[in-house]
Structure 1
Amino acid sequence: MPCIKTPQTAAKIISKGQQTLAAASVRDEPGCHTFDVLQDQADPELFWLYEIYQDEAALAEHKLTPHYKACRAVVTELIAEQSVIRADVLAVNPSR
């Protein structure tokens, strides 16, 4: 799960760009099962991207898409810190 820390002035840009990326990822990528953008309640400058991909190949394909590249072109310079947590999915809400 990527975590993005950005100054408050950039928060709306990050949020808007990530919403576009999230919608396109789930809509256009068969290997992207979930892409949610979360804003931390305690720290509004902190965003969590909750993403579930079918496998590593689907994640690699995601990073080649036009919507990913367009979003990264805008938000990369706004990111103050970034970290990633990788985990295996053990259970998923079947209604998603």
Structure 2
Amino acid sequence: MLSLIQILLLILDIVWFIILAHVIMSWLINFQVLNLHQQLVAQIWYGLNRILEPIYAPIRRILPNMGGLDLTPLVVLIGVYAARIILINNMGYFV
């Protein structure tokens, strides 16, 4: 059972990394450091969007419209971190 929890923690770490990469890439695109007309940048951007949109969509329906500010990645990061804390704190029950 401990191996299952470690696998879940690994998945949460990967999701955390993907969300951070998506946020940083969105900043770089908005500040015109990266250009979506470059094929590699566009492929990475659309790939990240396809991975994260199923996670973001339910939260975007709940959050109020903030204009140009999207707090969805922050809410998801808090959720991932909370899930990680819950798994780590309850790991002793599954050993």
Smaller-chain TM-score bracket? 0.3 to 0.5
**Of the two, which has the highest radius of gyration?**
2
TM-score, normalized by length of structure 1? Answer: 0.33
- Higher-helix-fraction structure: 2
Which has the larger strand fraction?
1
**TM-score (structure 2 length as normaliser):** 0.34
